[in-house]
Structure 1
């Protein structure tokens, strides 16, 4: 076990957000630095932000860089965890085949570094510290601007043949949009925050073309400006068209989850990310009912679907767990 006196570093590198936390105690973040990412500055801008946040954090704690023993990184894109290299980022230029683990070791003077995809890292955190404690296998989904997935088995990230696994956002699902030319789009194009907005914008264009009124369209004025946040708010007020858009997204997600249950047979499914903040009545309960209706019958009742527990710091918590594992393995 890692000595709680050792300082550990956890870093989240997302498409829009950078977070960095330090701790000596499992399950806590003793100091947290958070900043927005400017994609126009590329990967080097993010690395500058990491150096700056790390320097501020250790200065506030009265530490030197050499006192931080290990670091974990949750990266917003595919990674080669064995070599601790990023494969690419779909939001920020400059991360293709980048030796992130080596960079952290050299730039921050941290001897042990572990790098994984951010969804995997979030799933790890929920399995050890959050809504998945005591459950295995655990299927975790983060549903935000995109959809990421993780499979955690006995408290460890499952990575398939080595380049990751459970890329559920790229699973093909029956199209919930009758106006779409694609009969089997990827899940994240219809059930992510961006996907829900896209479904809504197409529905709004249809209303406009038919000269029909829709509260969301009337408020916004232009279909191209409608977002998932507006749809969720209008659905909460009982707007029929917004409820229909949400139902299309829920049905696509439920289809994907039913297939995942048939293949993985998880003990628990955790749904996190900004879209899941839509809540119990409009998100979780309808999804549970849809999955229950479609799932492989012998597996019905063997799992549950619950909200994530660790909030906006989930990836930092998971990254600190990666750091803890790395330091333990090196001892």
Structure 2
């Protein structure tokens, strides 16, 4: 039996099984106050509860890692991870013959490439639109790696010389702020304003419903996101020319309106020889994208 682990800033997920076949699934909310120690305690307790010995362990970690040593470089959200050798820690607590530690975006890309929206394609590029923006490239079933310490950091692609990055305008956090600013000047008749109500975080989750109800502000924001995302992805296409672009993360739950808008706008940014460009798909594995990818490591 294999174990797949997702270590994020807000949640910890552990799944046991093979490939996309999950036999056991445990989810914990991360207590930031307890730092890395609290997360490690949950992992150790879960390993002890598993009925079978582990053959392999794969981890998708929310931050930069050294894939050769299994050492965590840092976490931008949880204290206590910097310089921690997670692979050695897992070896001391399991009999697993193989332990792999990867960045969570790479792991999510692998999950979608093998078992989700990228099935059947040789070159898959995955972009996750969450609290930040990350990416991963899978070629013929294997994660593409550049020179350490990282690769395919699409969130840090600049959209202009002033320093605007894709992450600064297309992350869930950035869209939350944009919605907050927009509705402050709208009348109480605004559908988007009514849906957001007194929410003080996660405003982006109301974008699709407002869009479906014909809210003009929601339409403008969604089109702006799609345009900036398409422009960023055009650089990916010109450099790597993947078969398929997969949109994942919380913001991708905006769904078909966002997917279609990105695909349409992408055409306007591609050189003629590369048109019609790769197909654009929505991620299919949902919250299990990283855990299934970790099992697939």
State the TM-score bracket (shorter-chain normalisation): over 0.9
Distance 1:218 1:123, change over 3 A: closer
CA distance in structure 2 between the aligned counterparts of 1:80 and 1:145, rounded to whole angstroms: 22
CA distance in structure 2 between the aligned counterparts of 1:212 and 1:311, rounded to whole angstroms: 34
Instruction: Please point out which of 255, 260, 265 is paired with 1:279.
Output: 255
Contact 1:201 1:226 in 2 (8 A): no
Correspondence list, 1:231-270, <5 A:
231-270=207-246
Correspondence list, 1:114-193, <5 A:
114-174=100-160, 183-193=162-172
Unaligned stretches of 5+ residues in structure 1: 1-6, 175-181, 323-331
Equivalent residue, structure 1, for 2:270: 295
Distance 1:267 1:111, change over 3 A: same
Once superposed, which parts of structure 1, at least 4 consecutive aligned residues long, lie more than 6 Å away? none
Q: Identify which range, 158-167 or 224-233, moves more after superposition.
A: 224-233
Contact 1:197 1:231 in 2 (8 A): no
Unaligned stretches of 5+ residues in structure 2: none
Distance 1:33 1:226, change over 3 A: closer
Please give the per-residue CA displacement for 1:111-157, whole angstroms capped at 9, x wherever unaligned.
42110001101111121222212312211111122111001112111
**Deviation of 1:218 (Å):** 5.5
Please give the per-residue CA displacement for 1:248-297, whole angstroms capped at 9, x wherever unaligned.
211110110111101111111111112111111x2111110000121122
Contact 1:10 1:22 in 2 (8 A): yes
Aligned length: 297
Equivalent residue, structure 2, for 1:84: 70
Contact 1:196 1:246 in 2 (8 A): no
When the two structures are superposed, what TM-score results if normalisation uses the length of structure 1? 0.84
Contact 1:143 1:272 in 2 (8 A): yes
Correspondence list, 1:100-119, <5 A:
100-119=86-105
